[in-house]
Structures are given as structure tokens and as C-alpha cells.
Structure 1
Amino acid sequence: MYQQHSIEQTRVRVAERLASEPFSALSSLCEQLEQSEAEVTLALPSEMVTEVAGEHAEAILQRLPSWGKVTTIVHSGASIFEFKAPFPKGKLARGYYNLMGKEGELHGHLRLDLVTHIALVSKPFMKMESHYMGFFDSSGHCVFKVYLGRDKQRKLFPEQIALFQQLKQELS
């Protein structure tokens, strides 16, 4: 069962783990520390994470379709679903943000009113530069993540890095 710790305690515990395992996945840190993904993510060092209020979710999602190919990840239980395509346009209707992807792209219905925190994360993964947006609910679960895209050589798209950095500056 997950334990509650103060944010200061969690920051210390996360920093200690990162010092010994800098490329570890956040999901592993969550298991090791027995804390929610939001608690661990938001306790990353300030150079790795920018916390944004959930009320900005729609504005962020409306920008993403112009960024090009990204990787959207949804965890469900022990399963991970990945969609590598441009993030679809969407609109609010009947309490949901409805994703209207083209054929072969992501479709779905998001309850953005349940997103309480957004983390803009810059943390190496598998020894590679990595940047993503994590959308969290009030219980600390990650609803979904959107990672910057990569080319065929597994390099991040420079224009997406610039857009991500601009977003961080605007929302911090």
C-alpha cells in the first residue's frame, strides 16, 4: 500500500534514488518508495519537473496537434498502450474533451475536470534525453502521458524540444 510522506521527505528520498540510479524509470521509483506516481514525479529536482495546475490541461492539449508526431502513453493496470502519431485535435462536449483523431490516430474522451496536476518532465530515460507531459488525477495516478517524438535515429525533434521549453516557461 502507498504511504503518505511530506513533499520534503519525498524529495529527499527521490534525490537519493536518482543519485544511485539516474536512469531508472519513475514507475520503478514509485514501487521502491511505495508512493504514487504524482508524488514521486512532482518531487523530482526542479530542473527535471515543472508543476502546472490541472486547469491548464485543455490549453496544453489544444497546442499538441501542431507539434507533429508524439508518443501518447496510457497505463491500465499492468498494461501500457502507446500511440505514435500526431496528438489529435479535440473539443469539449458533454463533460469530456473529445479526441477526434484521423483514422489510425488516437481517439477517446477525457475527463479533464479530473486532472488536478500536470507535470512537464525532462528526465533521461534509458540513457536518452526525454521530455513528456504527465496528466495526474487527485489520487496521484497518471491518466496519460505525452512524450516528445523521435526520428528514425531515435533523436528527439528539435522543434518539439523548443515548443516544450516554451510551454514550461509560459506556465511556470
Structure 2
Amino acid sequence: MDDLAVQVNAILEQQPHQLPHEIAHSLNTNELAVIRCYPPELVVVVPGALAQSLLETIADWHTTVTVIVHSGGSIFEIKAPLPAGKNARGYFNLLGEPGQLHGHLKLDLIDHIALVSKPFMGRDSHYFGFFNQAGECVFKVYLGRDKQGKLLPEQVSAFVALKHDLNN
């Protein structure tokens, strides 16, 4: 185990709720480097070339997810089904209905995707983290929750199956 992994694991033992970007900041590294140090049962990292395929898979769920973007110290969230998209003019364009996410994603700049399963605020949590070449997170797609705050079981099953398939 390298020095960074030892440091990350020590922080996770002492402060299990600390977020990867917080750990990265405290260790003067990037978020992807921290996530790569998580125990293998928590994370699978795959090439960014799978970004469109994974986004299309999530859109096919037709159920609410939470998309999160960290920018300049702020956090932006949208809770809605991930819309379908199409390629045009060098972007993967999300074609959301009113109230859904719209956007233009430069998927060729996504270098890695991490499928992370880690408790947050005392609750199970699963997400797809899309990272650029510098190891910075461009955006995350968290699995959805019902009105009681419970994860949607069909999404959890699909996510766990994806992690398993991508890890083999």
C-alpha cells in the first residue's frame, strides 16, 4: 500500500463521513487519486470511454437520480430522471424536458468514471463520478431516493450489477 493509500485509509477510519474532495484537499491531491485508494468493495474505476454508455444506461432507468456539480465552492443539484442524449457538434447533448437536466457534455474530456458505494450521513449511498484528466470530478450522478429517503431498490440492483460486470 502506497503512502497516499495509508493516509486516505487513516482518514476514513477516523472520519468515515469525510467526502473524497475534502480528503483530496487536505492531502493536496485530486479526488480521483483519493477514490482510487478506497477499499475495492467500495469503488470500481473504469475508462472515460464508457461515459456515454453509462449515461444512456442511467437514462434508461427512467427514475429519479440526483446530478451534482461542484463549482467554485458551491454545489448544484437536480433531482429528476436523467434524460436521453445525442451526439452533435462535439458534445453529448442531454435533451431534458422542462424540470429535467439539460446540458452539453464534452465526454471526450472524461478520463475516468468511478462507481462508488460509500455511506454518507449515516445512509447507504451510490454514485457515478465522472472525472477529467486532472482527476477532478466534473459531475456525479447519485442513485435516487423515494419520499422516505430510501434508495430505489431497482437502481441499487442495477448499480451493483454494473459494478460487478465492470470489475470483471
RMSD of aligned Cα (Å): 1.1
- Structure 2 Cα separation of the partners of residues 102 and 8 of structure 1: 46
Matched, 1:83 2:78: yes
- Structure 2 Cα separation of the partners of residues 129 and 47 of structure 1: 14
Matched residue type, 1:33: L
Q: State the shift of 1:9 in Å.
A: 2.0
- Structure 2 Cα separation of the partners of residues 17 and 155 of structure 1: 27
Q: State the shift of 1:79 in Å.
A: 1.1
Runs of 5+ in structure 2 lacking a partner?
A: none
Using structure 1 for the length normalisation, give the TM-score: 0.93
Q: What SS is found at the alignment partner of 1:152?
A: coil
Matched, 1:32 2:30: no
* CA offsets 1:72-107 (integer angstroms, 9 cap, x no match): 001111111100000010011111000000111000
- Structure 2 Cα separation of the partners of residues 93 and 165 of structure 1: 31
Report runs of 4+ in structure 1 exceeding 2 Å deviation: none
* CA offsets 1:42-72 (integer angstroms, 9 cap, x no match): 2111111101111100100011112210000
Q: State the shift of 1:34 in Å.
A: 1.5
Matched residue type, 1:156: L
Identity over aligned pairs, percent: 52
Matched, 1:150 2:145: yes
- Structure 2 Cα separation of the partners of residues 165 and 8 of structure 1: 28
Q: What SS is found at the alignment partner of 1:165?
A: helix
- Structure 2 Cα separation of the partners of residues 51 and 92 of structure 1: 24
Contact 1:24 1:126 survives alignment (8 Å): no
Q: State the shift of 1:110 in Å.
A: 0.4
- Residue of structure 1 equivalent to 2:16: 22
Matched, 1:120 2:120: no
Matched residue type, 2:139: F
Q: What SS is found at the alignment partner of 2:123?
A: coil
Equivalent residues in 2 for 1:46-61 (5 A)?
46-61=40-55
- Structure 2 Cα separation of the partners of residues 152 and 53 of structure 1: 34
- Residue of structure 2 equivalent to 1:4: none
Paired residues, what number? 166
Using structure 2 for the length normalisation, give the TM-score: 0.95
Matched residue type, 1:170: D
- Residue of structure 2 equivalent to 1:42: 36
